[in-house]
Amino acid sequence: MVITTKEMYSEVYGILKALGDKYINKLPKTVLKVITESKEENYNPEYSMSIPLKEQKINRKSLAMIALLHYNYWCETEEDRVKFKDILETNEEKHQKKMKEKYSNDKIFNKATTKIEEKTISEKVDRFVESSNQSTANIVEYKQSFFNKVLDKIKQWFNIFK
């Protein structure tokens, strides 16, 4: 789903309302003003904190904005920020591992198909060898012309080109 910036701000504002005044009051007035002025007027999502955010169909951009607000304004100590950053890094590593498994070369170029291809190639080579063995190849005897024989003898006498 493509989400506009205004819709993202509307979702962030909806999450802030669900979180309550405790979190809203920690935000600088300028940040809160940007969120309220930039949100879509006709799009007012409402969220419940009794249901996990994962199950409430919130866009990734909105969640990223909430994570940014959490890191910058709601983490009270440097230790909280380090823990939160570690959680984000762990999640990113899990995501990258999942993507690596999903789009690995083995899955893209399935090994089973390569085995089938190898088998068909070897069968084709075997058939070619059998057909070439069955047909008799005429050996063409190369005969040197009289002129070339004379030139070779002259070259041998003068030891030229050899």
Q: Tell me 39's DSSP state.
A: S
Q: What is the pLDDT of residues 11-62, one digit of tens each?
A: 999 999 998 999 999 999 999 999 999 998 898 888 888 888 788 888 889 9
pTM: 0.59
Angle at the Cα of 87 (from 84 to 88), degrees rounded to 5? 90
Cα(44)–Cα(62) distance, integer angstroms: 14
- The position carrying tokens 């004379």 is 150
Asked if residues 56 and 47 have their Cβ atoms less than 8 Å apart, the reply is yes
Q: What is the pLDDT of residue 123?
A: 76
